[in-house]
Amino acid sequence: MSETVKIVLMVLLTIGAFIFSRWITGWQMNKAGESIIRDLEKKKAFDPESAVELPYCRKRMFRLGMKDYRPRVMEQLVKHDVVRMQAGEKYYLCEGRKPSDS
């Protein structure tokens, strides 16, 4: 095999690995979002009066273990108005988002 073919294959392999890793990260974030919404539905947090604290959304100084995407996903859910946040780090699902919508 010529050097040019080896280089092209290595570049393609590197690009493929990068795309695959981005796909895996997106899949994990999607699963984290589903789990957050499922937790809020299970706790019946549909309005400000029933807002709940979620233990994985607290800020931590040190993080041990595997990567947890839930805090970052929660920021995006709040930003896109799927979940709303009250003072004191309490969360509830946005109006119009009921268990039958999922």
pLDDT for 58-80, tens place per residue? Answer: 777 676 667 788 888 988 898 98
| Amino acid in position 37 | I
pLDDT at 102 over 50: no
* Stated pTM of the model: 0.74
Checking phi first, is residue 96 left (phi over 0); if not, alpha (psi -120 to 50) or beta?
Answer: left
Mean pLDDT, range 13-36, rounded to an integer:
95
Would you kindly state where each structural domain of the chain is located, as residue ranges?
A: 3-101
CA distances from 28 to 35, 57, 70 (A): 11, 16, 9
Mean pLDDT, range 27-35, rounded to an integer:
93
Q: Token pair for residue 30?
A: 């999607």
What's the pLDDT at 94? 83
